[in-house]
A and B are shown apart, each in its own frame.
Chain A
Amino acid sequence: MTEPKEKTPETTDHEWDGITEFRNPVPRIFKLSYILTILISVLMWVLLPSWPGVRDIWPGVLGYSSRTTVLEGVEEAKALRQQASAQAGARPLGSILFADNCAACHGYDLAGQTGFPNLIDAAWLWSGTREEIIATIRYGINTDHPDTRYSEMPAFGRDGMLPRAELEAISDYVASLSGPAPDHESAAAVAFDENCSACHGARGSGIAGSGVPVLDDAHWIYGGGTDAILETLHAGRQGVMPAWESRLNDRQIEELADYLIGAADAQGS
């Protein structure tokens, strides 16, 4: 058996009911690293932007700015991407941009949702040419942008233009347009001709590129049931497609347009 070491450490001289307190110094490694971190922080203050002054902020000897750096990084990434998208087999940028910005409304499959049109059904509201699509994306529809496209379905019921009973009859007629045998001789058909065909074309066949939907096909923005149509006639519709000019640059908008055209073509064939 070895004897316990006889060295009693120094105490602080305080004593509470027989309990005393050692006076062991902090281990040197802790003390050194403590002093070192303080020195490093002083060095950082000197090198990097840190202290606010009376008139300005101390810019730091290195002149580093996270804001300038990130803007440079974004430019760099743009150039890199341009290179990458030229390589064969690259995932089209358009699909990524679409998922980030458009899918919440038009759906990840581009097939639309109630209130937001299907983009791959070949039933274009504003024609499917590249320029037209680019203009739609850039300026939006019914937005505050000065070059916005404008389209509005009037509120025939709410604004008292047609009585309820007539609207119901017209709704049934509109719903039947996409069916096998619409009755074009009925009173509702005459009312449609008087009130609606100026915008929707004769018998709802549409006017290409006007932004007004065709009514005699199976594609609906707001739904083709009589209830949905009646609601459209009663309260009107004015779908808003946001303007992307300030969010996306020209190149991104072109990528998106090409992506949409490609997807619509793939669907059509």
Chain B
Amino acid sequence: MQNAHAKLERHSIGFALAILFVASLGGLVEIAPLFTIENTVEEVEGMRPYTPLELAGRDIYVREGCYACHSQMIRTLRSDVERYGHFSLAAESMYDRPFQWGSKRTGPDLARVGLKYSDAWHVAHLQDPTALVPGSVMPPYAFLSETRLSPAYLESALRSLRLAGDPYSPGQVREAPRHAAWQADRDAQYEDELRTLYGENVQVRDFDGQPERLTEMDALVAYLQMLGTLVDFDALDPQEIAR
């Protein structure tokens, strides 16, 4: 036994195979569960892929590093559930690439912030957090109201998500930039079209208080207002999702 390693070390092929075996154990534990994702993710009603405008907002969320201060993961802890609402489900992150669970809460969790505040509050808060919440350490993002959204890139963004398996139709991909503008239309002229395309829980209105133009603020607020609002929790059987 004491000299077992000496033997192994002197057989280069055998030694290489042994290394390969040990190293692959780590990979196996990480990769094998991916093949069973179908039955790990709960089946829920209401989940849908992001609309182009929400996706643009999500990209801004990532670009500005909001995840450094905000989590989007309500854990199965009593304190979390009492403060933020129903614990997060795996299904709620199924269209997030990458997910925004985060690991630090300088500010509150945002997983269910959708419809908790009004658009006007979000705009005013993002422009100057301390004006509404005295003592807030959240930085101001007033420039988002001044920056026009360039929606052209959304076509390729949706195309790559489609390649990754998100259920966007070729029409949705092609028309993504136009759909983004539709969603922020003050008069909601195309509400029916958007709902047919994306589902009943799409919110259509002017989000940033500037109906005449499409800004990054529109996109970010549209994203914040849909967070955690998709899944129909009344239709959810606690037995079914017990894990």
Contacts and interface: CB of A to CB of B under 8 A. Distances in A.
Q: Is this pair of chains taken from one and the same complex?
A: yes
Contact of A73 (B78, B115, B116): B78
Contacts of A73: 78, 81
A115 B81 contact: no
Interface in A38-70: 49, 52-57, 65-70
Interface stretch (B47-55, B82-90, B153-161): B82-90
B117 A104 contact: yes
A49 B77 contact: no
A70 B118 contact: no
A31 interface: no
B243 A239 contact: no
Given A74-B82, A77-B82, A247-B85, A105 B117 contact: yes
A155 B121 CA distance: 20
B39 A55 contact: yes
B169 interface: no
B76 A70 contact: yes
Contacts of A52: 32-33, 36, 39-40
B242 interface: yes
Considering residues B2, B116, B121, which has the most beta carbons from chain A within 10 angstroms of its beta carbon? Answer: B121
A265 to B, nearest CB: 26
Interface string B228-243: 0000000000100111
Say which size band chain B's interface belongs to. 20 to 34
**Chain A: interface size category:** 35 or more
Contacts of B68: none
B242 A70 contact: no
A242 interface: yes
B6 A12 contact: yes
Contact of A239 (B118, B131, B242): B118
B118 to A, nearest CB: 4
A23 interface: yes
Nearest to B5: A12
A6 interface: no
A239 B131 CA distance: 18
Contacts of B131: 113
Interface in A241-266: 241-243, 247
25 contacts: A12-B6, A23-B2, A49-B243, A52-B32, A53-B36, A55-B39, A67-B76, A70-B76, A70-B77, A71-B238, A73-B81, A74-B78, A100-B83, A101-B116, A104-B117, A104-B125, A105-B117, A105-B118, A115-B120, A144-B203, A239-B118, A239-B120, A240-B118, A240-B119, A242-B115
